[in-house]
Amino acid sequence: MELRLDGTTALITGGSRGIGLAIGYRMAEAGANVVLSSRKADGLAEAAATLSGLDGQVATVVAHVGRPDQAVSAVAQTIDHFGACDILVNNAGTNPYFGPMVDISVEAMQKTYEINQASILTFAQAAWHQYMKEHGGSILNIASIGGLGPEPGIGWYNVSKAAVIHTTSQLAYELAPSVRVNAIAPGLVKTDLARALWEGREEAVAKHIPLRRLGEVDDIAAMALFLSSSAASWITGQTIVIDGGTTNQPTGGVS
């Protein structure tokens, strides 16, 4: 089955690299006009160049997802450029702290909240009020399997991702039937954000994953394309786990 997004426009936060860029590639390949957004113009220009020649057109918008006024501006620029904002992918994320949650600084706590949690709602609000309320659409949030339970070192990050999962469910309830809202909860994917968790010991880490490998960004992008397409027209309010089986094994892992 070929999944197509012809005639649609997708805005992707954190779109200059990693999972966001991979989603942009998949969507442009499927015919969507894609707007990549992140904080740095240079990185966006390089990212956009990798999407040239695909079926959809590509544009970029510089925006800091932690600032609500820039969420409004990013959506407005998307609509100005392509006349629509049919798909919103809330992908931007950060993790400025590793260690016990009880020792996190207020500054790191606030930054994590603003980028990982609050931006999901501010961008959804902007997309809803400027376009989707009248025209419908699809919102996709990138969560994490960390949002499903406790884990050493990244507790506050995981709290923010648990909030993403619940925000997805709540928005799906409130915005139906015209807008579908879903989330993807990746396991350990080989990205720069997660580099500290796998670099230099990839083989050892993979032994604890039933499918015996770490995730690749396209594993997530393929599901993002599906959930944003008409093939998923009766799916909303769901968080899809993509983790190579990490969360589907007996306590203590596999041998």
Q: Which one of 25, 97, 131, 157 is the catalytic residue? A: 157
Token output for 63? 């925006």
Q: What is the dihedral of CA 190, 195, 198, 202, to 10 degrees?
A: 50
Q: Is 25 a catalytic residue?
A: no
- Cis peptide leading into residue 150 (ω within 30°): no
Return d(Cα 51, Cα 203) in angstroms, integer: 31
Return d(Cα 58, Cα 251) in angstroms, integer: 45
Q: Which of 16, 12, 26, 18 is nearest to 141 (CA)?
A: 12
- At 83, which amino acid appears? G
The alpha carbon of residue 72 and the mean position of all alpha carbons in its chain are separated, in whole angstroms, by 18
Return d(Cα 17, Cα 201) in angstroms, integer: 22
Token output for 161? 């991702």
Indicate which residues carry an active-site annotation: 157
